[in-house]
């Protein structure tokens, strides 16, 4: 049974992701050991503005909005999904700290 996605296509996609705007690896030292895989995404101010606007409208993102944001912001759908997960956790921490 052949692979559904050839390895070369995955490498090309990852290389394109790294070279497109908003995909710079963070250079500064930080928390614990780096997780293998894609480098940490450095979102641009415009990307963050649009992500925050979308989050204010709805905390949970639907598939069509995820596709739209990914296309508009030049990010992958998994990056959008992860950003929303992280943003919900930040929101939860902020609301718990406020009490």
Residue 60 within a domain:
yes
Range of the domain at 64: 45-98
Residue 30 within a domain:
no
Q: For the chain, how many structural domains are there in total?
A: 1
Per-residue pLDDT of the chain (99 residues; tens, 9 = 90+): 545 545 555 445 444 544 444 544 444 455 667 668 878 999 999 999 999 999 999 999 999 999 999 999 999 999 999 999 999 999 999 999 888
Give the global pTM.
Answer: 0.63
Residue 24 within a domain:
no
CATH number of the domain at 89, please: 1.10.10.60
Residue 58 within a domain:
yes
Q: Is 36 helix (H, G, I), strand (E, B) or coil?
A: coil
> How far apart are alpha carbons 8 and 6 in whole angstroms?
5
Residue 35 within a domain:
no
Q: CA torsion sign, 16 to 17 to 19 to 22?
A: positive
> How far apart are alpha carbons 2 and 15 in whole angstroms?
23
Residue 54 within a domain:
yes
Residue 79 within a domain:
yes
């Amino acid at each position: 049974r052949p692979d559904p996605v050839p390895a070369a296509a995955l490498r090309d996609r990852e290389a394109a992701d790294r070279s497109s705007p908003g995909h710079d690896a963070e250079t500064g030292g930080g928390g614990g050991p780096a997780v293998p895989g894609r480098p940490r995404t450095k979102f641009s101010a415009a990307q963050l503005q649009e992500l925050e606007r979308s989050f204010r409208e709805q905390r949970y993102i639907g598939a069509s909005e995820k596709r739209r944001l990914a296309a508009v912001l030049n990010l992958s759908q998994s990056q959008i999904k992860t950003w929303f997960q992280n943003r919900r956790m930040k929101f939860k921490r902020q609301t718990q700290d406020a009490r």
